[in-house]
Amino acid sequence: MDGSRVFVTGMGCVSAAGLGADRLWHAARGGHSCVSRVEFDRAWRNKVKIAARLEEFDPESYIEPGQLIFCDRFTQFAVAAADEAMVQAGFEPRQRLDDRTAVIIGTGIGGATTIDDKHYEMYYVREGRPDPTVVPRTMPNAATSHVSMRYGCKGPSFAISSACSSATQAIGLGAWFIRSGMVERAIVGGSEALITPSIFRAWEALRVLAPQACRPFSKGRNGMVLGEGAGVFVLESERSVERRNAEPLIELVGYGTTSDAGDIVRPDVNGAAGAMQDALRDAGIEAGSVDYVNAHGTGTVMNDMVETEALSKVFGAHLAALPVSSSKPIHGHGLGAAGALELVVTIMSVRDNFVPPTINWLEPDPKCLQDPVANIGRDGNIDIAMSNSFAFGGINAVLIVQSAR
């Protein structure tokens, strides 16, 4: 490790709030839910009929026809978000970079839309020749590869697939690559587009989807709401920032990741707490220095209880004065993209010194946070913030950012 500091110089976002990081932040800051009723072209038998879905998106505005035929919806989202991030970082559109640039983009499933559509055609339509673009559209590394090709990035490139921790791990690994001296910059994040009839039905079978609203940490909560989108960030070493005279948005100071090595779906207090503690150690700060936590906060009964206990274990008495909120009721649970969407919110909370609310909250649950910034956001003096991601499979990942100095 050469100890290089890591800065975020650009970020881009596609979410149910629309195109652009500013739209997501406007929704999160104001407590405006992007969840609505979902309609599918094909008949489906689901009882839950709400999700945070982007209704209007024109991929042809971003991707040439010759490339678009190889791009599933999740790849399209990633390319659009990457374009925004690169422009904000000060790079020219489609600027060719080099072998000192890594690309790491996480996803839970990859080309879910293509998988659902083509399986339907295969088993029910049974007409026409097979589509030869299915494999390159569905592979989980497609988003990474298209972004890498788009900007001529010849350094390490790969996909992370760690369920709900995918994006956070991708971002953290990009920072580690920069610190190690392996690369000078990294395009990182997560993308997911799996609001399809079959996947929706599968999640409903787990009995974790809320039929009416996602209510993290609230009494009466009964599940999460699926979402989709992408968040992409340009990370750069201090040397790269100085050489380009770039203006950082924020500094990425800490990353921690652990494995529960326990149950495939039930979260573990020690694993979640360990990831937060590792991130604090990596950042070289004490728990009392954290000014805001964007919680994983899914709204499921078990997850919110476990995360509350883990937060108590890490922050102790400081937790009573520490603002903690969940933005998932705003943009939905983006699964492989969740950590990226939430890092956009976390970064903007630091830059605007504002704590976004946990909307849909009804009343305290004795086993959860008693005041998760309920329903109305508030001003705050935020210099350091944490973002949590805890995934099925017991994979935990945490990021810490600090205002750029």
For 345-399, what is each residue's pLDDT tens digit? 999 999 999 999 999 999 999 999 999 999 999 999 999 999 999 999 999 999 9
Mean pLDDT of the chain: 96
Whether pTM > 0.95 for this model: the answer is yes
Q: What is the pLDDT of residues 171-196, one digit of tens each?
A: 999 999 999 999 999 999 999 999 99
The yes-or-no answer on residue 318 being catalytic is: no
Give the pLDDT of residue 1. 36
**Continuous segment of H or E residues that includes residue 230:** strand 229-237
Q: If you classify domain 254-402 with CATH, what class do you get?
A: alpha beta
**% of the chain surpassing 70 pLDDT:** 99
**3-class DSSP state of 68:** helix
**Regarding beta strands 354-355 and 50-51, do their DSSP bridges make them parallel or antiparallel, or are they unpaired?**
unpaired
Q: Tell me, what's the pLDDT at 44?
A: 76
Sequence-distant (6+) residues with CB within 8 A of 162 are 106, 169, 391, 393, 395, 397
Q: What is the DSSP letter of 318?
A: G
Q: Which residue out of 34, 164, 214, 368 is catalytically annotated?
A: 164
Residues 146, 153, 296, 331: which is the catalytic one? 296
Asked if pLDDT for residue 100 goes beyond 70, the answer is yes
For the structural domain made of 6-250, what CATH number should be given? 3.40.47.10
Q: What angle do CA 146, 111, 232 make, to 5 degrees?
A: 50
Decide if 370 contacts 219 (C-beta within 8 A).
Answer: no
pLDDT at 3 over 70: no
Active site residue 333: yes
What is the pLDDT at residue 391? Answer: 98
CA distance 305 to 35: 24
Cα–Cα dist 132/185, whole Å: 34
How many CB atoms neighbour CB 294 within 10 A?
29
DSSP state of 59: G
* CA separation for the pair 208, 394 (Å, rounded): 17
Confidence grade of residue 342 (pLDDT, cut at 50, 70, 90) = very high
Instruction: Quick: pLDDT tens for 139-157.
Output: 999 999 999 999 999 999 9
The string over 196-234, giving b where at least 16 C-beta atoms fall within 10 Å of a residue's C-beta and e elsewhere, is bbebbeebbeeebbbeebbbbbbeebbbbbbbbbbbbbb
The pair of structure tokens assigned to 140 is 């989980």
Confidence of residue 167 (pLDDT cuts 50, 70, 90): very high
User: Six-digit token pair at 361?
Assistant: 């909250």
Q: What is the per-residue pLDDT across 124-133, written as a single tens digit (0 to 9) for each?
A: 887 778 899 9
Residue limits of CATH 3.40.47.10 in the chain: 6-250, 254-402
Question: What distance, in Å, lies between the first and last C-alpha atoms of the chain?
Answer: 22
Q: Is 164 a catalytic residue?
A: yes
Of the candidates 146, 331, 333, 368, the residue annotated as catalytic is 333
